[in-house]
């Protein structure tokens, strides 16, 4: 659980407007803030999954594992609510995303700003979870043939995510960076 998430300084009014534009919860209630943050944490993982256009079944399985982490370890919102948010982002296998590259970039930028305002221990935990999930999804993209390797079309997306979220500040992020080379 991220105790500091509800602090007023973590979500500015501009952040809330951007959340609303992205179709994520934008209210000030505790549940809405946690749900919005869960959506922001889910976005980079789905961006990696969609680097080749759609989510395949192997990527979906990796994303489902991450959704359970967001629900159980971070206690952000229910799996069902995360799946609803994720569906519009392109989480379901072979279903076209309603989000464009621009929306994923905007979500990353927003999440990066919020992470800078969180206490370092919380931000570090979030960065580690995102980096680990990005690598899991990226290595799931190609099935058996590409087992444990990152496909070329995902490398630039991973580098963008690492840079915008400062994932190179955590151990899982460094692992991701090494695998995305």
Per-residue model confidence as pLDDT tens digits over 156-171: 888 899 999 999 999 9
Q: Is the pLDDT of residue 95 over 90?
A: no
Degrees, nearest 5: CA angle 116-27-19: 55
Q: What is the reported pLDDT for 151? A: 62
**Between 150 and 92, residue with greater pLDDT:** 92
Local confidence band at 144 (pLDDT 50, 70, 90 cut-offs): very low
Which residue is associated with the tokens 């309603």? 98
Q: What is the reported pLDDT for 29? A: 78
**Between 58 and 130, residue with greater pLDDT:** 130
Q: Is the pLDDT of residue 153 over 80?
A: no
For residue 122, give both structure tokens.
């919380």
- The Cα 94–Cα 90 span in angstroms is 8
Question: What DSSP letter does each residue of the chain carry, written as one string?
Answer: --GGGG-GGGS-HHHHHHHHHHTS---SSHHHHHHHHHHHHHHHHHHHHGGGSSB-HHHHHHHHHHHHHHHHTS--S-HHHHHHHHHHHT-SBT---S--HHHHHHHHHHHHHHHHHS-HHHHHHHHHHHHHHHHHHHHHTTTTTTTT---HHHHHHHHHHHHHHTGGGSHHHHHHHHHT-
Q: What is the reported pLDDT for 9? A: 67
Q: Is the pLDDT of residue 145 over 80?
A: no
**Between 69 and 151, residue with greater pLDDT:** 69
Sign of the C-alpha dihedral computed for residues 109, 38, 134 and 22 taken in this order? negative
Q: Compute the mean pLDDT over every residue in the chain, rounded to the nearest whole number.
A: 87
- The Cα 82–Cα 123 span in angstroms is 20
Specify the pTM.
0.91
Share above pLDDT 90 across residues of the chain, in percent, rounded to a whole number = 59
Q: What is the reported pLDDT for 143? A: 46
């Amino acid at each position: 659980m991220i105790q500091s998430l509800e602090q007023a300084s973590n979500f500015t009014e501009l952040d809330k407007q951007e959340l609303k534009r992205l179709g994520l919860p934008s209210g000030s209630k505790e549940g809405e803030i946690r749900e919005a943050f869960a959506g922001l944490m889910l976005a980079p993982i789905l961006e990696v999954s969609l680097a080749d256009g759609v989510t395949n079944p192997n990527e979906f399985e990796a994303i489902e594992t991450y959704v359970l982490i967001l629900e159980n370890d971070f206690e952000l919102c229910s799996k069902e609510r995360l799946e609803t948010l994720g569906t519009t982002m392109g989480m379901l296998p072979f279903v076209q995303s309603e989000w464009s590259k621009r929306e994923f970039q905007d979500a990353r930028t927003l999440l990066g700003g919020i992470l800078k305002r969180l206490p370092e221990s919380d931000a570090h935990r979030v960065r580690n979870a995102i980096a680990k999930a990005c690598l899991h999804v990226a290595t799931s993209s190609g099935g058996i043939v590409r087992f444990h390797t990152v496909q070329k079309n995902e490398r630039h997306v991973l580098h963008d995510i690492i840079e915008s979220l400062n994932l190179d500040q955590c151990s899982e992020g460094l692992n991701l960076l090494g695998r995305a080379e």
